[in-house]
């Protein structure tokens, strides 16, 4: 009996060892690939949050903060954070690329303060907490007028009157749209997400066309043309409107003792079809996706890093803000300030975010395209004018998946990072940032 139990125990032990070996091998292989693409062969920097906080506090009083302090030590893409227990510190690790916009220290602190509810608003006995977001939407009265013009354009037979109506529609479509910011004051973070959202609306214009991403109107045009050429009736719902918004997706942070590595973070475009009341007011979303809007978002997401971000740097800035938001989230959720023995009172409670002027309205953007199909079997000509308006926004809410691992590669990387911390002060001050070789 004892021999049998010993045999079972031995088999279980062997299986466990094999499983551990395979799991460790796979984990190391995955992280080897990640490091080659994200850390190795690039300029890397570390930023001491302890020294940054101390020197930021003093230079803000004097009004003479250096670029190193203002621009987060020169980091352009955050990668992770490391707890430095010896120095009671947290190190922010990231890439430094001279061809990209530097991150601002205010960006990180705006996000941190939002996550700690510093900007929450009290109304009576209720405190309202909001995630960082923005929205650019048409005014209901303008939408109501656009709907009515749309209907008149589609039934008008006289070409001259039709052109007059189309001109009115184009002018009205450029009416001011309301800009709303949620969760934060008007700041650089707010401006970046608004600029990204507004540029998203422009992607249907001929001056903003993408090689691999046809606009939603292009997709509708191609579909309608095929139908009309086959003499098949096509119909576009005038009472519907598509909402597009950008979100952070597929966020994964790997944790190895003191190292918290942002393994993955994507920006995704989402869409939902919404119906409009005759008054122009939005009715609750349908939960469905218009097939053309879905095709557009799928292609947009596939091209985000390969084409869109390279052509329009604002989308790189947006992605890096999402990366900062993920790291700020893990700092808060894992209580890293407490674990490091670092008092974050100034960062979270006292630092005043630099406010900027953000326009409360922006000119509307809507797209129109005329399609003419001449039948081969008849002398008649079929004309279809398609118009498209949309609503949008950016949602900065993040909730990364935390994965704890015993990867030896990550342990080695953490040791390398900590071993490269300068011991000497710079001009009598502790160094804020320094280069890393990984």
Q: Provide CB contacts within 8 A for 95, sequence distance 6+.
A: 38, 39, 42, 43, 44, 45, 75, 76, 77, 79
Tens of pLDDT along 187-217?
Answer: 999 999 999 999 998 886 767 888 888 888 7
Give the C-alpha separation, 347 to 352, whole Å.
9
Closest CA to 46 of 7, 83, 8, 9: 83
Closest CA to 283 of 245, 339, 239, 236: 239
DSSP 3-state of 271: strand
Pick out the chain residues at pLDDT < 70: 1-42, 204, 206, 231-240, 275-286, 367-392, 425-427
- Co-location of 11 and 143 in the same domain: no
Give the C-alpha separation, 262 to 78, whole Å.
8
Neighbouring CB atoms inside 10 A of 43's CB total: 15
In a domain, 265, yes or no: yes
pTM score of the predicted model: 0.84
State the pLDDT at residue 165: 86
The one-character DSSP state at 213 is: -
In a domain, 226, yes or no: yes
Contact criterion met (CB below 8 Å) for 386 and 200: no
Give the C-alpha separation, 20 to 78, whole Å.
31
State the pLDDT at residue 369: 62
In a domain, 363, yes or no: yes
In a domain, 187, yes or no: yes
DSSP readout, 181-209?
Answer: EESS-SSHHHHHHHHHHHHHHHTTSGGG-
- Co-location of 169 and 32 in the same domain: no
354 burial level (CB within 10 Å; 0-12, 13-18, 19+)? middle
Q: Give the bridge partners for 128, in sequence order.
A: 121
- Co-location of 304 and 176 in the same domain: yes
In a domain, 357, yes or no: yes
Q: Provide CB contacts within 8 A for 38, sequence distance 6+.
A: 79, 95
State the pLDDT at residue 122: 87
- Co-location of 183 and 304 in the same domain: yes
- Co-location of 174 and 317 in the same domain: yes
- Co-location of 374 and 225 in the same domain: yes
- Co-location of 19 and 144 in the same domain: no
184 token code pair: 């934060």
State the pLDDT at residue 39: 42
State residue 73 phi and psi, 5-degree precision: 70, 15
Q: Give the bridge partners for 371, in sequence order.
A: 384
State the pLDDT at residue 336: 98
In a domain, 71, yes or no: no
Determine the structural domain holding residue 143 and report its residue range.
131-333+353-395
* H or E stretch at 398: none
State the pLDDT at residue 173: 81
What is the count of structural domains for the chain?
A: 2
- The alpha-helical segments, DSSP class H, found in 174-307 are 188-202, 216-229, 291-303
- The alpha-helical segments, DSSP class H, found in 274-423 are 291-303, 309-311, 314-333, 336-340, 345, 408-419
Tens of pLDDT along 254-268?
Answer: 999 999 999 999 999
Give the C-alpha separation, 72 to 423, whole Å.
20
CA angle 307, 309, 310 (to 5 degrees): 65
When the pLDDT of each residue in the chain is averaged and rounded to a whole number, the result is 82
- Co-location of 20 and 166 in the same domain: no
In a domain, 427, yes or no: no
State the pLDDT at residue 19: 36
Q: Provide CB contacts within 8 A for 247, sequence distance 6+.
A: 267, 268, 269, 270, 394, 395, 397
Closest CA to 100 of 70, 67, 66, 74: 74
């Amino acid at each position: 009996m004892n021999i049998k139990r010993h045999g079972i125990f031995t088999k279980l032990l062997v299986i466990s060892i094999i499983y551990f070996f395979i799991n460790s091998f796979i984990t190391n292989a995955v992280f080897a690939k990640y490091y080659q693409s994200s850390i190795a062969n690039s300029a890397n920097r570390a930023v001491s949050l302890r020294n940054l906080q101390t020197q930021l506090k003093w230079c803000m009083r004097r009004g003479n903060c250096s670029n190193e302090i203002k621009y987060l030590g020169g980091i352009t893409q955050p990668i992770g954070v490391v707890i430095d227990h010896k120095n009671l510190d947290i190190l922010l690790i990231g890439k430094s690329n001279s061809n990209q916009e530097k991150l601002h220290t205010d960006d990180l602190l705006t996000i941190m303060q939002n996550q700690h509810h510093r900007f929450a608003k009290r109304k009576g006995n209720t405190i309202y907490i909001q995630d960082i977001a923005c929205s650019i939407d048409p005014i209901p009265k303008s939408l109501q007028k656009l709907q009515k013009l749309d209907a008149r354009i589609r039934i008008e037979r006289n070409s001259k009157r039709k052109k007059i109506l189309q001109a009115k529609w184009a002018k009205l479509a450029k009416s001011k749209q309301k800009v709303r910011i949620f969760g934060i004051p008007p700041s650089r973070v707010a401006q970046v997400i608004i600029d990204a959202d507004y540029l998203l609306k422009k992607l249907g214009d001929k001056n903003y066309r993408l090689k691999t991403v046809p606009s939603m109107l292009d997709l509708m045009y191609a579909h309608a043309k095929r139908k009309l050429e086959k003499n098949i009736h096509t119909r576009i719902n005038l009472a519907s409107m598509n909402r597009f918004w950008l979100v952070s997706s597929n966020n994964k942070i790997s944790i190895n003792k003191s190292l918290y590595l942002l393994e993955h973070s994507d920006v995704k475009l989402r869409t939902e079809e919404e119906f409009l009341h005759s008054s122009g007011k939005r009715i609750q979303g349908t939960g469905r996706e218009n097939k053309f809007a879905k095709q557009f978002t799928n292609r947009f997401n596939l091209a985000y890093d390969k084409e869109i971000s390279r052509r329009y740097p604002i989308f790189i800035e947006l992605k890096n803000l999402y990366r900062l938001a993920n790291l700020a989230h893990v700092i808060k959720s894992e209580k890293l300030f407490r674990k490091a023995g670092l008092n974050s009172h100034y960062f979270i409670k006292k630092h005043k975010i630099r406010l900027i002027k953000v326009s409360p309205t922006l000119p509307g953007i809507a797209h129109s395209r005329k399609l003419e199909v001449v039948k081969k079997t008849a002398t008649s000509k079929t004309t279809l004018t398609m118009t498209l308006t949309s609503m949008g926004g950016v949602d900065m809410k993040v909730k990364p998946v935390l994965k704890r691992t015993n990867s030896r590669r990550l342990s080695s990387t953490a040791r390398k990072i900590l071993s490269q911390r300068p011991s000497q002060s710079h001009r009598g001050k502790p160094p804020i940032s320094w280069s890393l070789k990984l």
